[in-house]
Homo-oligomer: A and B are copies of this chain.
């Protein structure tokens, strides 16, 4: 039984880790970290866990935690994981960081977009970007995994095969993404009040959202060139779900079958990526509560562009589910253990 500690277990992503790991047959949570709710019963913070989780919230002490668990998940704001991690800790436990601290290889890019100084740049090199479908073999050997962001998971995987195979002109890629409100976290902020979000839709972080450089770096590796994209996130009045609609010029004339074959080549054997049937396009509800990513595309001969659409549950494949998928890989378990979650509809 793998012993798990969670730092930040009372945010929405942390709570989703708890939900998933509770159903995981080979892992057991032994530390529910939450700076805001120390000593409080976990189930009183998340009443859905009443009679399911019987534990009290603990502090963020990573050193003490390292002595008690096999793996630590950090589901905390940027900067915290980098400020706590050390060689001594990494020599004792594996770490899966759900924050952005170790996602971007160029520390100056990180510091510019996040506006903070990186406290542990020495570990950026070894950290593996935990997009399982892309970096599976590296994840298996990693001590420190940088779990991808929610928007980035969806944005990258939607375009990845075509970027990799050179079918799209990376200079023309535009990503218009829409997210449910759980992505904004559980902080009590006015813009996230029910009455401000319900019956409303808006773009935000235009040309400045922090997931931009992460997408650019990963798609740059795929395309083997420097990539700049327009990434625009939008807030949607729903709890969960991310839909990414992506546009790019095709580099040559292609048929549906050719493009389909490229997606199949990369995802045909992937359990968690479903290439939908022709002309069926992803809807967020079809993946809700599950670790699936649905994807499809449409060639527009009139404009010479391809439109790609991907959908995930931002808290599962976009956060906690992918983190558990990474844990499974790191510990040599069945990659899908604990993740056989059937999407809930309606």
Instruction: Name A212-254 residues within 8 Å CB distance of B.
Output: 228-230, 232, 234, 236-241, 243, 245, 247
The distance in angstroms between the C-alpha atoms of A3 and B300, with both chains bound, is 46
B237 touches A12 (CB 8 A): no
User: Quick check: A190 and B199 within 8 Å, CB to CB?
Assistant: no
The verdict on A211 contacting chain B, using a C-beta distance below 8 Å, is no
Segment at the interface with B among A89-97, A100-108, A284-292: A284-292
Interface presence of A200 (CB below 8 A): yes
Contact B343 A239 (CB under 8 A): no
Provide the residues of chain B in CB contact with A189, threshold 8 Å.
188
The verdict on A206 contacting chain B, using a C-beta distance below 8 Å, is yes
The closest CB in chain B to the CB of A309 belongs to B203
Within 8 A of B (CB), among A23-82: 23, 44, 46-52
Q: Which of A140-148, A160-168, A275-283 contacts B (4 or more CB under 8 A)?
A: A275-283
Check if B190 sits within 8 Å of A186, measured CB to CB: yes
- Inter-chain contact B202/A239, CB cutoff 8 Å: no
Number of chain A residues whose Cβ lies closer than 8 Å to a Cβ of chain B: 83
Residue ID in chain B nearest A207 by CB atoms: B300
Which of the segments A121-129, A175-183, A257-265, A327-335 contacts the partner chain? A175-183
Q: Tell me whether A307 and B232 are in contact (CB under 8 A).
A: yes
* A276 & B50 in contact (Cβ 8 Å cutoff): yes
Listed A/B pairs (26) with beta-carbon separation below 8 Å: A12-B195, A22-B342, A44-B277, A47-B280, A48-B344, A49-B343, A50-B294, A178-B178, A181-B195, A193-B193, A194-B198, A198-B198, A199-B239, A199-B241, A199-B346, A200-B238, A201-B236, A201-B283, A202-B284, A203-B243, A207-B302, A228-B302, A230-B305, A236-B237, A247-B247, A289-B289
